[in-house]
Amino acid sequence: MEEITVPHTVFCHLGNPGWVPTSSECISGLLFENSHHIEECIKRNGFSVRLCVSDMVGSALQPKDGVPRSVTCRLVYLVSCLGGILLLTFYSAKIISVMTAKYNKLPFTSLKGLIEDGSYKLTISRNSNEYFMFANAKSGIYKEMYDTVMSHNPDDMPATTYEGSKMICQDDKTVIIFSNLFSYTTSIPCVFAVVPEVIYQFSQHYLFQKGSPFTGIVSRKLLKLAESGVIKKIIRDNKADNSFETETNDIAVGLTNVAPIFGILGAGLVMAVLLLGVELLVHHLQGEVSENMH
C-alpha cells in the first residue's frame, strides 16, 4: 500500500471559502484596533488620508498600544481578539491533524484494476472454496486473475486465514481474499486497505441429519424472521458499500464550519452598536441638561 504524503503546502487546508472569514477577521481586527487612532488623527489633521494612514502604521509599530476607555470600543476589542483566537485554534488543529494523520490508498479499486496494475499478487487459503473458485474457472475475470496474479502452486498459498492475514504485513504487494478476515483484524499488527468491489457472493447452509427434530425448529424460526423483515434488514445492513474511497482528500472548510465563531463575533458587534447608541443618547441628554442649567 502507498502512503499518502503531507500536502505540499499547509496554507491550502482552509480552502478558498475558509480564507474569506479569516481575511475578514484580520481586516476587521485591524480597523477596530486603529479606530480610535483614526478618530484622533481626523481631529488633529482633518481628513488627510496620508497622515491618517501614517498614524495607523505608526500605531501598529508601537510596542504597546493604548486602549480607549470607551466601553463600546473595549467590547469590540474583546470580541475581535476572541474571534482571532478561535480562528487560530481552529486552523492550528487542522494543520496538526493533517501533519499527523496518515492514510493508505491502493492504485486500484477493483479486480480489473488489480490485473491491469500487475504489481500485486493475489493469495487465497489453499483449502478454501475461494481458491477452487479461481483455480477451476474456465473463463472470465476469475480465470484471468488466476493466470496473471496468482500462483499455480497450492503450497505457496497460506493454510489458514490467520497465516494469510500475516502475509499482508510481511509483503506490501500482497492482496488477500478471505470471507472471514475481519474476525482477525484485532490481531493483525498492521493497517490494511479494502478493495470496494464485491468480489463474489456466497451462501452459508446448515446441514441436519434426515429426520432430525431440529429441522422443523430452525425452519419455523427462519420463517418468522423472514415474515418480520429481520432477514431483509440483516441483508440491507451488511450490503457492501461501493462508495468506499481509497484516497482521503483534504476537506475545505467553508463558512458553515465557522458559523458559530462569526455568530459570537456578530453578537458582540450588535451589542457594541447598542451600547454605542446608549452612550450617545446619554451624552445627548447630559448636553441638554447642561444647556438648560445655563
Higher pLDDT, 248 or 122: 122
- Whether residue 161 has pLDDT greater than 60: yes
Rounded mean pLDDT, 172-199: 69
Rounded mean pLDDT, 194-201: 65
Average pLDDT, rounded, for the chain: 69
What is the SS3 assignment for 263-285? HHHHHHHHHHHHHHHHHHHHHHH
The predicted structure's pLDDT at residue 223:
86
Class of domain 105-200+212-237: alpha beta
Q: What gap in Å lies between CA 235 and CA 241, rounded to an integer?
A: 12
Q: What gap in Å lies between CA 112 and CA 118, rounded to an integer?
A: 10
**Residues 22-32: tens digit of each pLDDT:** 666 566 666 65
Q: What percent of the chain has pLDDT over 70?
A: 53
- Whether residue 108 has pLDDT greater than 70: yes
**Residues 225-279: tens digit of each pLDDT:** 888 888 788 777 765 444 434 444 555 556 676 677 777 777 777 877 787 788 7
Q: What gap in Å lies between CA 159 and CA 137, rounded to an integer?
A: 21
**Position 290 confidence tier, pLDDT thresholds 50, 70, 90:** low
SS3 content of the chain, % helix, strand, coil (to 5): 60, 5, 35
**Position 9 confidence tier, pLDDT thresholds 50, 70, 90:** very low
- Whether residue 183 has pLDDT greater than 70: no
Rounded mean pLDDT, 49-74: 58
**Cβ neighbour number for residue 294 with a 10 Å cutoff:** 4
Q: Of the spans 34-38, 77-81, 110-114, which averages the highest pLDDT?
A: 110-114
- Whether residue 137 has pLDDT greater than 60: yes
- Domain boundaries, given as residue ranges, for the chain: 2-103+254-293, 105-200+212-237
**Position 6 confidence tier, pLDDT thresholds 50, 70, 90:** very low
**Residues 32-49: tens digit of each pLDDT:** 555 555 566 566 655 555
Burial of 95 from C-beta contacts in 10 A (0-12 / 13-18 / 19+): middle
The predicted structure's pLDDT at residue 270:
80
The predicted structure's pLDDT at residue 52:
58
Q: Give the phi and the psi of residue 232 in degrees, each rounded to 5.
A: -60, -40
Residue 193 is inside which H or E element, if any?
none
Higher pLDDT, 29 or 9: 29
- Least confident span in 16-20, 76-80, 119-123, 203-207: 16-20
Q: What gap in Å lies between CA 179 and CA 190, rounded to an integer?
A: 19
